[in-house]
């Protein structure tokens, strides 16, 4: 370290010599004393810098790195940043994630949509609602069915700013690119309407041509339902009666692991396991609505890009 102190000492000597040389001249003394004060201040500043640098090198003093106090690997800070970044219509309530099952892998994103976004999607879809169909597992074509009695419509992917914001948010939360998703499907169930238990993955060749197999589903509830209308997983492993809302479930809801529709909440579940095998525990259905109306929106996501 002595080398670092060499400059200020030289500077001090220089300053001293300067003052001797200036002797005998009016103003020279003043100029030289000014000069030596200047060098003194300069060298002290320099030494302070050196000391500070040494302290920093030994980690005794550190510069503030960012205003965010959470470490970059903290998942909750990552999620918070996503939430803050993604725009959208209206103001969303407090958002939090709940793991409800690992077999199937199912999670609830509470307050995923704002009330304004839910109302917007319902308003967009209302003029186009048609009786829902199911996919015939033999021919791969759509057909009418008694197992699914709702009405619904598809909204083209990226059709407007609000839809694009929601689709971006879905991609952020599922880690599946926007391009892998089908258009949002909006569904309406009136009293008595339901969707019997089924898989979202396909067992035919026809439906996997575009985008490959369906990997996961995000089901967003656009309305509250007074009674019934739960999403139920009859093949879920684990204690189905341990959910907080067990006592509020309909008879149908108690047949499996159930999620009660709540406006703005989103249910994410995976049809495929991490090893890409089909997960039969993802069997699920929509219980009949007993009181009220159920509006929901589904985003199906595929293994590969889904062309629209």
Ligand X SMILES: *[C@@H]1O[C@H](CO)[C@@H](O)[C@H](O)[C@H]1NC(C)=O
Which parts of this chain interact with ligand X (CB under 6 A)?
A: 239, 241-242
Beta bridge partners, 154, equal 185
Q: Which of 196, 200, 183, 181 shows the shortest CA–CA distance to 121?
A: 183
Least distance to ligand X from the beta carbon of 282, Å?
22
- How far apart are alpha carbons 188 and 106 in whole angstroms? 23
Asked if 212 contacts 304 with a C-beta cutoff of 8 angstroms, the reply is: yes
Nearer to ligand X, 108 or 176 (CB): 108
Between the alpha carbon of residue 145 and those of residues 66, 92, 126, 186, 196, the distances in Å are 57, 36, 21, 18, 10
Q: Is 158 helix (H, G, I), strand (E, B) or coil?
A: coil
Residues with Cβ within 8 Å of 159's Cβ and at least 6 positions away in sequence, in order, are 183
Nearer to ligand X, 88 or 256 (CB): 256
Nearer to ligand X, 37 or 241 (CB): 241
Least distance to ligand X from the beta carbon of 267, Å?
21
Nearer to ligand X, 67 or 242 (CB): 242
Q: Where are the alpha helices (DSSP H) in the chain?
A: 2-21, 28-57, 75-85, 115-125, 161-174
Nearer to ligand X, 38 or 246 (CB): 246
Least distance to ligand X from the beta carbon of 238, Å?
9
Least distance to ligand X from the beta carbon of 242, Å?
4
Nearer to ligand X, 71 or 239 (CB): 239
Helix, strand, coil share (%) of the chain residues, nearest 5: 35, 25, 40
The structure tokens listed for 240 are: 């189905």
Burial environment of residue 79 by CB neighbours within 10 A (0 to 12, 13 to 18, 19 or more): middle
Q: Which of 102, 201, 115, 185 shows the shortest CA–CA distance to 151?
A: 185
Nearer to ligand X, 243 or 289 (CB): 243
Least distance to ligand X from the beta carbon of 290, Å?
24
Nearer to ligand X, 73 or 239 (CB): 239
Q: Which of 301, 286, 298 shows the shortest CA–CA distance to 216?
A: 301
Least distance to ligand X from the beta carbon of 197, Å?
22
Least distance to ligand X from the beta carbon of 257, Å?
12
Asked if 105 contacts 96 with a C-beta cutoff of 8 angstroms, the reply is: no
């Amino acid at each position: 370290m002595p080398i670092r102190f060499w400059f200020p000492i030289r500077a001090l000597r220089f300053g001293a010599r300067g003052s001797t040389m200036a002797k005998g001249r009016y103003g020279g003394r003043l100029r030289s004393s000014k000069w030596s004060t200047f060098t003194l201040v300069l060298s002290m500043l320099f030494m302070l810098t050196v000391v500070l640098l040494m302290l920093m090198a030994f980690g005794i003093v550190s510069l503030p790195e960012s205003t965010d106090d959470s470490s970059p690997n903290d998942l909750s800070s990552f999620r918070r940043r996503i939430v803050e970044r993604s725009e959208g219509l209206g103001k969303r309530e407090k958002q939090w994630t709940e793991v409800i099952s690992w077999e199937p892998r199912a999670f609830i994103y509470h307050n995923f949509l704002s009330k304004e976004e839910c109302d917007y999607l319902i308003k967009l879809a209302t003029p186009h609602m048609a009786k829902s169909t199911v996919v015939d597992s033999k021919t791969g074509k759509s057909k009418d069915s008694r197992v699914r009695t709702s009405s619904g419509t598809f909204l083209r992917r990226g059709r407007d700013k609000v839809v694009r914001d929601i689709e971006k948010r879905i991609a952020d939360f599922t880690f599946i690119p926007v391009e892998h998703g089908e258009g949002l499907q909006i569904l309406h169930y009136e009293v008595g309407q339901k969707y019997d238990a089924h898989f979202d993955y396909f067992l035919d060749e026809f439906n996997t041509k575009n985008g490959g197999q369906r990997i996961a589903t995000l089901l967003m509830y656009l309305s509250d339902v007074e009674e019934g209308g739960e999403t139920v997983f009859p093949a879920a492993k684990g204690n189905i009666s341990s959910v907080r809302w067990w006592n509020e479930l309909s008879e149908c809801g108690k047949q499996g692991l159930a999620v009660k529709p709540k406006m703005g909440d989103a249910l994410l579940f995976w049809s495929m396991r991490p090893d890409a095998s089909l997960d039969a525990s993802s069997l699920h259905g929509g219980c009949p609505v007993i009181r009220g109306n159920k509006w929901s929106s589904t985003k199906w996501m595929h293994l590969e890009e889904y062309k629209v």
